[in-house]
Amino acid sequence: MCRWLAYSGNPLQLETVLFNAKHSLIDQSLHSRLGHTTTNGDGFGIGWYGHPTDIPFRYRCIQPAWSDRNLREAARAIHAPMFVAHVRAATDTPSQETNCHPFRHGRWLFAHNGLVRNYPAVRRDLMVAIAPELFPSIEGSTDSEVLFFLALTFGLELAPVTALERMVAFVEETGRRHGVDEPLNMTVCATDGEQIVAARYSSERQSRSLFHNTSFRHLHELYPDDPRIAMAGQDAFLVLSEPLADLPGWWQEIPESTVMVARGGEIEQFPFEPQVA
């Protein structure tokens, strides 16, 4: 179980949402309210974009986010128009940098909260389905990284929503073949620096929580004097496991079995439906 957030908008200093917000992501690493586990202390990662069309940067570490001093420096140093941050609560896989999110391939970053149930039973079948040319890039041992490489195999770079739906169908089909009733639980985020795709889905239709901000345009009107809102541009988009602060009207829950796509200030929401490839 983990917590993550993704931002796109005018360049924002990372510490704004990682440290300074009331119920910031780092605060969530120690005291999650909505998570399945309250402590997310098994490492963390941030990924950010300089120029949207370049390979994004990462900083990942197995220290708890709350005690890592380099993260505090990085969050102060980095201003970015798009970034992803993740705090990890390991299920059964080791606490190591290559198991920390976000995962990266080319311009794409990927973060996940949830799990593949009975992963040891299905791991081999899932890995074998990864495209052979992607296989050498697998570095860690988590289910999350394998979900990412499966999504890439199913076309994430070309049609991200469809690729995620195919990936989920494949994981569910594989799990059921191995006798797993509810094979997958996930909220995921995939981004290439130009768009953020965020999905909330689980086989049991009781997915981990996921929220996004309501329109900042609307918020600017609602709270004209709040500096936290003034700081964000009109088109800022934030999607995250748990709300950062308690202003009424600020956050909206993403419904069960739904995918959101944010690109160039436009946000759209679709039903998320597993598709057999």
Asked if residue 11 binds its own copies (CB under 8 A), the reply is no
Q: Are strands 195-202 and 211-213 parallel, antiparallel or unpaired?
A: unpaired
If binding is defined by CB under 8 A, does position 97 make contact with its own copies?
yes
Instruction: Provide the minimum distance between the beta carbon of 69 and its own copies in the complex, in angstroms, as a whole number.
Output: 7
- Piece in contact with its own copies (CB under 8 A), picked from 91-99, 146-154, 186-194, 242-250: 91-99
Among 20, 96, 258, 275, binds its own copies (CB under 8 A): 96
Which string of DSSP letters, residue by residue, matches 70-114? HHHHHHHH-EEEEEEEEEE--SSS---GGGSSPEEETTEEEEEEE
- What x/- string results for residues 121 through 150 when contact with its own copies is judged by CB under 8 A? x-xx--xx---x--xx-xxxx---------
**Of the candidates 83, 62, 69, 65, the residue with the CA atom closest to the CA atom of residue 140:** 62
Q: Which of 180, 198, 181, 168 is nearest to 273 (CA)?
A: 168
Nearer to its own copies, 102 or 274 (CB): 102
Helices 143-153 and 119-128 cross at an angle (nearest 10°) of: 30
Q: Which of 36, 57, 157, 258 binds its own copies (CB under 8 A)?
A: 57
Long-range contacts of 172-175 (CB under 8 A, 24+ apart): 172/203, 172/274, 173/276, 174/122, 174/125, 174/126, 174/129, 175/116, 175/117, 175/118, 175/122, 175/203
The CB-of-92 to its own copies minimum distance in angstroms stands at 10
Judged by CB under 8 A, the stretch of 76-84, 161-169, 241-249, 258-266 that binds its own copies is 76-84
How far apart are CB 135 and its own copies at their closest, in Å?
A: 4
User: Does residue 177 bind its own copies (CB under 8 A)?
Assistant: no
Q: Which of 73, 266, 268, 273 binds its own copies (CB under 8 A)?
A: 73
- Identify whether 274 is preceded by a cis peptide bond (ω within 30 of 0): no
Rule CB under 8 A: say whether 249 interacts with its own copies. Answer: no
CB atoms closer than 10 angstroms to residue 179: 9
What backbone phi and psi angles, to 5 degrees, belong to 214? -75, 170
64 part of the interface to its own copies, by CB under 8 A: yes
Report the half-sphere exposure of 78 (CA within 13 A, side-chain side). 26
* Distance of closest approach, residue 226 Cβ to its own copies, in angstroms: 26
Q: Which is nearer to its own copies, 110 or 119 (CB)?
A: 119
> Segment near its own copies (CB under 8 A), from 16-24, 33-41, 107-115, 165-173?
33-41
Range in contact with its own copies (rule: CB under 8 A) among 3-11, 34-42, 107-115, 227-235: 34-42
Q: CA 222 → CA 20, 23, 234, 264, 272, distances in Å?
A: 21, 21, 13, 23, 31
- Give the Cα separation of 201 and 183 in Å (integer): 11
Stretch that binds its own copies, among 56-64, 183-191, 216-224, 265-273 (CB under 8 A): 56-64
Residues of this chain that interact with its own copies (CB under 8 A) are 30, 38-39, 41-42, 50, 57-64, 67, 69-70, 73-74, 76-78, 90, 93-98, 119-121, 123-124, 127-128, 132, 135-136, 138-141
